Every structure is written in structure tokens, then in C-alpha cells.
Amino acid sequence: MRLFVAVLPPQEALDELGAAVRPLRAVPESDRLTWAAPTGWHFTLAFLGEVDEALLPGLEERLARAARRHAPYVLRLAGGGRFGDRVLWMGVDGDTAALRRLAGTVQAAARRAGTAVAEEQRFHPHLTIARNRSAVPLRPLADRLAPFQGREWTAASIALVRSHPPAPGVPGAQPRYEALRAWTLGHRPGQ
Ligand code: 2AM
């Protein structure tokens, strides 16, 4: 199964972003982009790719341990941007050093559990808003999202998410994300 570990922003933060993104959908030609469903918006900490089901118990144990070693930290959605003309995204502000450390721990945990976790050259936390396979320029959209500053929220958990691939041959079809498990940061049972 195709898995990744993510930070899932709270609904209020996603609603604010939704309100900022909605007007962009009215920009001419924006219907040629593939807009990620807001219900699946997330920040990926580690992309694990295809994982053998047999590795799941060990992976879950190591992710639980990784979560226990980190304290909750404060983030806000802020500063939209783009990867060339391929991806339109929202960035993150606040204790990004804590986010980066958490991503490092989660990636190491996934590696030790035997998954082929993607080696990050440079961790670039981003929440994908739209993907682009057309010639529509993303710059005007990214420029409109660049000043966005959402409210602060406390990131207090990590989630193991399964990505169900989209139906083949359906243009614009999207993967469906299913959160399998979540672990609270710094949480120790019985304390
Ligand atoms: P993206 O949004 O930039 O595409 C589920 O696919 C999540 O894993 C998405 O956040 C996606 O990032 C990320 N992802 C997919 N393939 C990846 C890869 N090869 N390396 C790193 N992250 C990947």
C-alpha cells in the first residue's frame, strides 16, 4: 500500500485557506488545473511509497515512539508559492525548526522500519493546492497566495495516511487519502 506520514492542519485553518483559494478557481483557465480536494490538504513529513503490509506493525510502533519524542509546536499556514509551473502550494510559518526536526525523526523511523522512505535532499514543507499538466502559468495564482497568513494553531499529532490511487484513464482523477492512524506528540499512555 502507498503510504505517507503527514501533519493535518485543523479544520479552522483549512477553512481559512479554503476561503483564500476559492476566488482563484474563478481565474480564467484555472479549471485546467487539477485542484487538490480540501478534505485531503496536508503537509507531508515523509513519503514512504509502496509499503509491504507485513511492515505495518513495526512501522506503527516506530512512528508512535517518534511522536513521543517531540513536543507540540505552533504553526500557521502562510506564504503561498509554486514549484515552477507544476505545483501551486501553501507554505507554513511558525516553529518550522520543530517541524523539520519532526520530519527528520519520522523519516529515520520509517527507514528503520524497513520502508524505502524517500531521501529528502531538502525538506520543503508545502501543502499542495493544485497540480498543473497544462501550459497555464501558475505565477499569477502564486502571487495572490503569497501574502496569505492564517491563524496560529498547535500541531500536536502525526498521521499515517494511505493514498489510494486514482482510477486509471480518468483525466483529472485524484488519489483518495485515508488516515490509518494518528499519534499525539509527547503523549505517553498513563501519564
Ligand atoms: P506533493 O503534494 O508535492 O505531490 C501524497 O502523495 C503526498 O506525498 C503528497 O503530499 C505528495 O507531495 C507526497 N509525495 C508523493 N510522491 C512523493 C515523492 N516521490 N517524494 C516525496 N513526496 C512525495
Are 132 and 87 in contact, with CB atoms under 8 Å apart?
A: yes
- Tell me the torsion sign for CA atoms 19, 41, 24, 30: negative
The three-state secondary structure class of 161 is: strand
Tens of pLDDT, residues 114-171:
999 988 778 999 999 999 999 999 999 999 999 999 999 999 999 999 999 988 888 7
pLDDT at position 26 is 93
What number of helices (H) and strands (E) belong to the chain? 4, 9
124 is catalytic: no
> For ligand 1, atom 16, which residue shows the shortest CA distance?
47
On whether residue 118 sits in a domain, the answer given is yes
Mean model confidence pLDDT for the chain:
95
In a domain, 170, yes or no: yes
Domain housing 81: 2-184
Residue having the nearest C-alpha atom to atom 13 of ligand 1? 47
CATH (domain of 33): 3.90.1140.10
In the reported structure, the alpha carbon of residue 191 is separated from the centroid of ligand 1 by a whole-number distance in angstroms of 35
Domain assignment of residue 47, yes or no: yes
Specify the higher pLDDT residue, 190 or 103: 103
Count the domains in the chain.
1
Q: What's residue 174's pLDDT?
A: 87
* Helix or strand run (H / E) with residue 19: helix 11-21
- Closest residue to atom 15 of ligand 1, CA basis: 47
The DSSP letter of residue 138 is: S
Q: Does the annotation count 70 as an active-site position?
A: no
Distance 185 CA to ligand 1 centre (A): 23
Separation CA 170–CA 129 (nearest Å): 20
- pLDDT over 80 (residue 54): yes
Residue 12 has pLDDT above 90, yes or no: yes
